[in-house]
């Protein structure tokens, strides 16, 4: 029997449902209105969630929570600074190189001649149109990394930075990062307190259910965010290394992109599209056989997929957490459409929370009713 038919739709129940829907819509509209303010806070929460195990481990040695937080953040920032010193010059060199290749497509050159000989006329025209787009030329003509970082940083605090332009926007991008860092420090210091105090705010007759729901949600998110983030990092390194070995243009940047896509299981397959384009550009630049270059790219994808499925996922992720990748992608699309960047950040946690609620409340309620007929 359908779940909804087990309880009659009285005027009171319909009124309660209408109020619940109105509250949900109000919350979504409020989140959308406050999204620009909430984005730095949500980013800090996600980072705190990822870093808390490291803080807890360090705290066993130093005892004081604040000192453990400080050491963890220094290590965290130090890791990315070191990675930046190593990767940023390489990535900027790749971007500059790719800009030169695209420029050669629209002027008389060997690359242009090879492309015209291989591509059909309509495809060649589309490629030329792409290479001459203003935003494409602007991106690949970037001479320093600060402008890219400033552009990305502005997304974190757009209302604050939107009124500024030029070099000062980079300064306020840094301020946005500092705001996130301050949030992160305060949340990490009181992470355990915040994790426990909320339980006292739940009415006693609802406490067991809500705590059980949050525990289900926490286990799922531990499995996803922390484990999948580690897998994505390893995958990014392997892809970047593989693409660099075969000489693919922008191989490091593509590897990082695919690593980010790995946060959603199987979505890294989208990386095949830019990989094919970069393989084409490589063959046009060097005169190598396009089919052979594609074979090399395919081998990289195959090797990484084998490593991920046979080693990384079973060892790090363990048992599957139960959400279909299509549902994950759908949830990101829906929440992203509703709340923009904020929606993208909270999509998976909110979807896991709703699924946990459904499994614990709706399904268990139905089972209890069937096992205890009136």
Write out the chain's pLDDT in tens, 374 residues. 344 445 565 666 677 778 877 887 888 888 778 777 788 888 888 888 888 889 989 988 888 888 999 999 999 899 888 988 888 888 888 888 888 888 887 777 788 888 888 888 888 888 888 888 877 777 776 655 555 555 444 444 444 444 444 444 555 567 778 888 888 888 888 887 776 666 777 777 777 777 777 777 776 666 667 777 888 889 999 999 999 999 888 899 899 989 888 877 667 888 898 899 899 888 888 888 888 999 999 999 999 989 988 888 777 766 545 566 677 778 878 887 887 777 777 777 777 777 777 776 655 544 444 555 44
SS3 250: coil
Give the Cα separation of 332 and 265 in Å (integer): 13
- Whether the pTM exceeds 0.85: the reply is no
The span from the first CA to the last CA of the chain, in angstroms, equals: 15
- Angle between helix 110-118 and helix 272-286 axes, rounded to 10 deg: 120
Q: Give the residue among 354, 337, 355, 336 at the shortest CA–CA distance from 346.
A: 336
DSSP, residue by residue, 64-91? -HHHHHHHHHHHHHHHHHHHHHHHHHHH
Residue reference for tokens 């109000």: 26
Question: What is the torsion angle, in degrees rounded to the nearest 10, for the CA atoms of residue 192, residue 198, residue 204 and residue 210?
Answer: -90
**Domain residue ranges of the chain, discontinuous segments joined by +:** 1-33, 36-196, 206-322
Nearest Cα neighbor of 177 from 68, 72, 80 is 80
Are 113 and 79 a contacting pair, CB within 8 Å?
Answer: no
**Alpha-carbon distances, residue 76 vs 65, 162, 282 (angstroms):** 16, 29, 36
């Amino acid at each position: 029997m359908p779940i909804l038919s087990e309880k009659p739709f009285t005027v009171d129940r319909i009124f309660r449902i209408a109020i619940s829907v109105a509250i949900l819509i109000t919350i979504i509209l409020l989140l959308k209105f406050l999204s620009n303010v909430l984005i730095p806070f949500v980013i800090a929460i996600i980072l705190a969630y990822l870093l808390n195990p490291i803080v807890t481990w360090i705290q066993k040695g130093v005892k004081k929570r604040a000192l453990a937080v400080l050491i963890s953040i220094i290590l965290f920032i130090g890791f990315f600074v070191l990675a930046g010193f190593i990767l940023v010059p390489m990535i900027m060199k790749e971007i500059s190189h790719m800009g030169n290749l695209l420029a050669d497509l629209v002027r008389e050159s060997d690359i242009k001649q090879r492309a015209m000989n291989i591509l059909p006329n309509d495809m060649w025209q589309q490629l030329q149109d792409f290479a001459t787009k203003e935003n494409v030329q602007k991106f690949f003509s970037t001479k320093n990394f600060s402008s890219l970082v400033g552009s990305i940083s502005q997304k974190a605090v757009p209302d604050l930075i939107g009124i500024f332009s030029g070099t000062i926007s980079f300064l306020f991008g840094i301020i946005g990062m500092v705001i996130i860092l301050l949030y992160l420090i305060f949340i990490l210091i009181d992470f355990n307190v915040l994790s426990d105090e909320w339980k006292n705010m739940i009415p006693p007759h609802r406490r067991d259910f809500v705590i059980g729901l949050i525990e289900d949600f926490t286990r799922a998110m531990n499995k996803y965010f922390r484990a999948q983030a580690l897998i994505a990092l390893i995958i990014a390194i392997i892809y970047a290394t593989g693409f660099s070995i075969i000489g693919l243009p922008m191989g490091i940047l593509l590897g990082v992109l695919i690593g980010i896509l790995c946060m959603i299981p199987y979505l890294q397959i989208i990386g095949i599209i830019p990989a094919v384009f970069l393989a084409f550009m490589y063959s046009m630049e060097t005169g190598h056989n396009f089919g052979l270059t594609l074979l090399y790219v395919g081998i990289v994808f195959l090797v990484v997929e084998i490593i991920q499925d046979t080693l990384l996922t079973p060892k790090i992720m363990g048992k599957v957490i139960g959400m279909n990748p299509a549902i994950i992608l759908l949830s990101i699309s829906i929440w992203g459409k509703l709340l923009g960047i904020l929606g993208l950040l909270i999509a998976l946690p909110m979807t896991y929370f709703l699924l946990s609620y459904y499994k614990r409340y709706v399904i268990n309620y139905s089972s209890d009713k069937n096992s205890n007929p009136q």
